[in-house]
Amino acid sequence: MTQDELKDAVAAAAIDEIRPLLGSQIIIGVGTGSTANRFIDRLAALRGDFRGAVASSEATAKRLKQHGIDVFELNEAGTLPVYVDGADEINDQLEMIKGGGAALTREKVVAAGSQRFICIADASKTTSILGGFPLPVEVIPMARSFVARELVKLGADPVYREGTVTDNGNQILDCYEFLIDDPKVMEARLNNIPGVVTNGLFALRGADLLLLGTENGVERKE
């Protein structure tokens, strides 16, 4: 199977997973990226069965609206029953690196505001140690060089993602050569650097369920 077919398979599995949760008052959280986009495209067929969605990015909000799905602000939606999103890397503890699409801050907020996080990913995203994928760190623009120096002190090789402005008006530093032994500790440590808005480690609040696309079908891990 191609990677696109694996993404399709996990998107379909996520639809099956959330279908029993839906109802006229239900608002769900929806992530960002090519895997999440496949989920959104399938969600369109169910749009009469739930109230709407909270989007983790402007791109996702646009796609949801194009399908006729109502988009709500998290502020008005309250706690969400479920959040569905992809990942750039995921380990056996269902800790992730996210933010390859620069949507990490809103993704982390919507995930934190949801009772259940369902991660959908193809098998290429699994790893035993996070950090093979460069860890994104969102910074306010005036702090970029300072934060980069602090990241070097922690052993990373940060690279400014030129030309990228996040939905929050901020910038991204991608941390190369940064294998992460203890993701929860590192997530908290990075959060403490002044000027960091969010880092792409999703360990303190990891996924509750991984739907993993493999050659042998979709595997469930929780």
Residue 138 found at the interface with ligand 5RP (CB under 6 A): no
Beta carbon nearer to ligand 5RP, 56 or 156 = 56
Nearer to ligand 5RP, 100 or 158 (CB): 100
Tell me: is residue 99 an annotated ligand-binding position: yes
Tell me which amino acid residue 179 is. L
206 binds ligand 5RP (CB under 6 A): no
33 binds ligand 5RP (CB under 6 A): yes
φ, ψ of residue 178 in degrees (nearest 5): -135, 70
Rule CB under 6 A: which of 89-108 touch ligand 5RP? Answer: 98-104, 107
Known catalytic residues are 107
Backbone Cα Rg of the chain: 17
Interatomic CA distance for residues 14 and 35, integer angstroms:
11
Beta bridge partners of 29: 54, 83
Question: CA nearest 193: which of 134, 156, 150?
Answer: 150
Least separation, in Å, of the C-beta of 25 and ligand 5RP? 27
> Is 87 assigned to a binding site?
yes
Give whichever of 50 and 60 is closer to ligand 5RP, judged by the CB atom.
60
| Residue whose CB is less far from ligand 5RP, 98 or 161 | 98
Task: Determine, following the binding rule CB under 6 A, whether residue 31 of this chain makes contact with ligand 5RP.
Answer: yes
170 in contact with ligand 5RP (CB under 6 A): no
DSSP reduced 3-state for 113: coil
Q: Is there a binding annotation on residue 9? A: no
Q: Packing angle between helix 34-43 and helix 58-66, nearest 10 degrees?
A: 30
List the x/- string, 50-89, binding to ligand 5RP by CB under 6 A: -----------------------------------xxxx-
β-strands 27-30, 83-85: how paired? parallel
Cβ neighbour number for residue 191 with a 10 Å cutoff: 14
125 annotated among ligand-binding-site residues:
yes
71 contacts: CB under 8 Å, gap ≥ 6: 52, 53, 54, 55, 61, 64, 65
DSSP-assigned beta bridge partners for residue 71: 53
Is residue 33 part of an annotated ligand binding site? Answer: yes
* Contact footprint for ligand 5RP (CB under 6 A): 31-35, 85-88, 98-104, 107
